[in-house]
């Protein structure tokens, strides 16, 4: 009778471990380059992929934006299915900001999913009339986008985070100790 009860407990733990491993996990695959001039607005696109075992509503969050840069329009939460890739759009506004390269972080907010942050680059360029004046200056003074690719360079597949395997290993260890004693 004790062995039957023990087997039922172990099977229940395995069932719970399987349910716990069903999780939401999303990754930012790509952020479009953002080029703009001072006192203007521009659109950008963020490509998101669902890597978890279930989908969910995903929204963009931002941090470390410069004081004169702000996100003025975000399309809001969008449902992304497991294994699917989708695009989220937004609009960023530059105030009276100096010319240069700016970096901020863009993340994903979704229920049950850890935050996933990605650096985004903004290049604030001079207006077209002023660009002609800069053509005579040194090439180092002309601003360009960073050459590094905006995607992760790892070739290995990302695993879905979950506690299922930890619970399963703990159940096996507990069962092995009980059987020995």
> pLDDT tens digits for 109-145?
888 888 888 999 999 998 875 655 556 554 455 555 5
Evaluate if residue 150 carries a pLDDT over 50: no
Q: What is the pLDDT of residues 32-57, one digit of tens each?
A: 989 999 999 999 999 999 888 888 89
Tracing tokens 């096996």 back to the chain, one arrives at 172
Residue of 3 and 92 predicted with greater confidence? 92
Q: 91 has which bridge partners? A: 43, 73
pLDDT of residue 6: 77
Evaluate if residue 155 carries a pLDDT over 50: no
Give the dihedral sign, CA 5/6/7/11: positive
Residue of 171 and 29 predicted with greater confidence? 29
Q: How far is CA 73 from CA 7, 41, 44, 93, in A?
A: 55, 10, 10, 9
- What are the structural domains, with CATH classification, of the chain? 1-21+162-181 (no CATH), 24-158 (2.60.40.10)
pLDDT of residue 127: 81
Q: Checking phi first, is residue 87 left (phi over 0); if not, alpha (psi -120 to 50) or beta?
A: beta
| 8 A C-beta contact, residue 49 and residue 78 | no
Average pLDDT score over the chain: 78
Evaluate if residue 15 carries a pLDDT over 80: no
Q: What is the pLDDT of residues 161-179, one digit of tens each?
A: 556 667 778 878 888 888 8
Q: 35 has which bridge partners? A: 123
**Cβ contacts of residue 118 below 8 Å, gap of 6+?**
28, 31, 105, 106, 107, 150
C-beta atoms surrounding 148 within 10 Å: 9
Residue of 62 and 116 predicted with greater confidence? 62
* Element spanning 134, H or E: helix 128-134
């Amino acid at each position: 009778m004790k062995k039957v009860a023990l087997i039922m407990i172990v099977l229940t733990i395995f069932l719970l471990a399987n349910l716990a491993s069903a999780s939401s996990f999303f990754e930012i695959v790509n952020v479009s380059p953002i080029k703009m001039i001072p006192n203007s607005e521009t659109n950008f696109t963020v490509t998101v992929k669902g890597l978890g075992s279930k989908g969910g509503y995903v929204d963009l969050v931002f941090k470390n934006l410069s004081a004169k840069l702000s996100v003025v329009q975000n399309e809001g939460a969008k449902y992304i299915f497991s294994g699917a890739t989708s695009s989220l759009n937004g609009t960023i506004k530059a105030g009276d900001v100096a010319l240069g390269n700016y970096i901020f972080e863009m993340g994903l907010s979704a229920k049950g999913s850890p935050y996933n942050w990605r650096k985004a680059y903004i290049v604030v360029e001079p207006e077209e009339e002023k660009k002609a004046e800069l053509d005579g200056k040194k090439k180092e003074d002309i601003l360009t986008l960073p050459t590094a690719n905006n995607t992760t360079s790892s070739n290995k597949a990302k695993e879905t985070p979950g506690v299922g395997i930890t619970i399963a290993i703990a159940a096996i260890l507990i069962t092995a100790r009980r059987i020995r004693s």
